[in-house]
Amino acid sequence: MTPETDGSDVDRPETKRFSDHLRERSDPAFSEAVEHPFVADLGAGTLDPDAFAAYLVQDYAFLDALVGTFGFAVGEAPGIAAKRPLIEFLDVVTDAENDYFERSFEALDVPADRYVDPERTETTEAFIDLLGRAAREGGYAETLAVLVPAEWIYESWALAAVEAHADPGTDPPSDGAGLPFYYAEWIDLHATDSFRSFVGWLRGQLDSVGPELSPPRRRRVERLFSRTVELEVEFFDTHYPGDRSGSGGV
């Protein structure tokens, strides 16, 4: 985990976006997540479908906690204008994304008793606990500190997959890659203009509150952001059926 700072830089004029500062502090883990062979193989269509099915089961188990954390963010957001994008995103997650999961489980022969109440991996449990603690023990800034990296990483690897294997100007983004729908739509969900716009807005929310944080809260936000990134890498590691050190990346 990224070491705590002594807070000596808190009062200095900001020379970069706060979210960029947090991303830099989280490297090399952030880059490892974006370039992980799990998502590289997913984008190329060479990922083992059984590995992807196991991954989706755990991601689905994580969905309730994610929705709850976004719901908390809605309550903490400063005003209606800030609440609306969060509510709209929740609508996508609970409608289109949930529909995607159900169709993908059917196509991948995952029975309902496997994904309705699955045995969670240690990483999934750690992720759920982190989301809960960010909401229970903090406020809007702490909640954004886990939501921003989680969504930003997915936007980043999905865009990399599109650039490597499809025409970035197509709609949907993965069009032309010749992927099974459960790979193609998972990429598309995280590479559309609307999702990219939402991630940019979410980063902007964190940028707006970060510089005003007290030194202790700023350190807490830095720790939460970095821990989220570490868990994203662990999540991909858990489901990658090979040695990721031998992959060439996206």
pLDDT band at 126 (very low <50, low <70, confident <90, very high): very high
pLDDT value of residue 14: 54
Is the model's pLDDT at 169 over the cut of 60? yes
pLDDT value of residue 150: 96
pLDDT value of residue 10: 42
pLDDT band at 5 (very low <50, low <70, confident <90, very high): very low
pLDDT band at 49 (very low <50, low <70, confident <90, very high): very high
pLDDT value of residue 168: 67
Is the model's pLDDT at 12 over the cut of 90? no
Is the model's pLDDT at 247 over the cut of 70? no
For residue 151, what are its two tokens? 């969504």
Query: Sign of torsion, CA 192 76 31 47?
Result: negative
% of the chain exceeding 70 in pLDDT: 91
The mean-pLDDT minimum among 16-25, 108-117, 174-183, 218-227 falls in 174-183
pLDDT value of residue 136: 81
Q: What is the pTM of this model?
A: 0.88
pLDDT band at 155 (very low <50, low <70, confident <90, very high): very high
Select from 63, 61, 87, 62 the least CA-distant residue to 74: 87
